[in-house]
Amino acid sequence: MTAYIDPGAANFAAFKALPRDTPIHMLNLLAYRALADYPEGHEHAGKGWSGRRAYEEYGRTSAPIFQRVGGRIVWRGRFETMVTGPEGKRWDDGFIAFYPNAAAFFAMIKDPDYQKAVINRSAALLDSRLIRFAPLEAGEGFGA
């Protein structure tokens, strides 16, 4: 199984090529490690934290930066079952993060405090997906 924790070069280049001045929604799908995998010497290495606990630490330490750039969570959910897709694939949690624009996302990931916080994310995750969407107005039916 190929795991995806950080963006690959081609995917990140595609992201950077999209408009930077329009609102974006980022769908996050998360599968946690049973035991967080911190680099040796990190302050949380050896604490025996679960992946979920390490992700909670990521959320706690990255929230001020996320909020400062204008980000907010617009939807959050706990995985129950795969309806369409591979039977064996499961996610622990999912959420959609709103950013006022891609520049806000870039400001967040370049922030030195965020770069310290993101170590918790890497230690926490077994697999993930981060998918950018352009927000559209919700309608009454599926196709509208």
Q: What is the mean pLDDT of each run of 10 residues along the chain (144 residues)?
A: 88 95 97 98 97 98 98 97 90 98 96 98 97 91 74
Q: What is the pLDDT of residues 59-80, one digit of tens each?
A: 999 999 999 999 999 999 999 9
Residue 117 CA to residue 130 CA, distance in Å, equals: 17
Residue 139's pLDDT is: 82
Residue 117's pLDDT is: 98
Residue 35 CA to residue 57 CA, distance in Å, equals: 14
Domain 22-133 has CATH 1.10.540.10: no
Number of Cβ atoms within 10 Å of the Cβ of 58: 20
Residue 96's pLDDT is: 98
- Per domain, the residue ranges of the chain are 22-133
Torsion angle, alpha carbons of 134, 137, 141, 144, to 10 = -70
The whole-model pTM stands at: 0.92
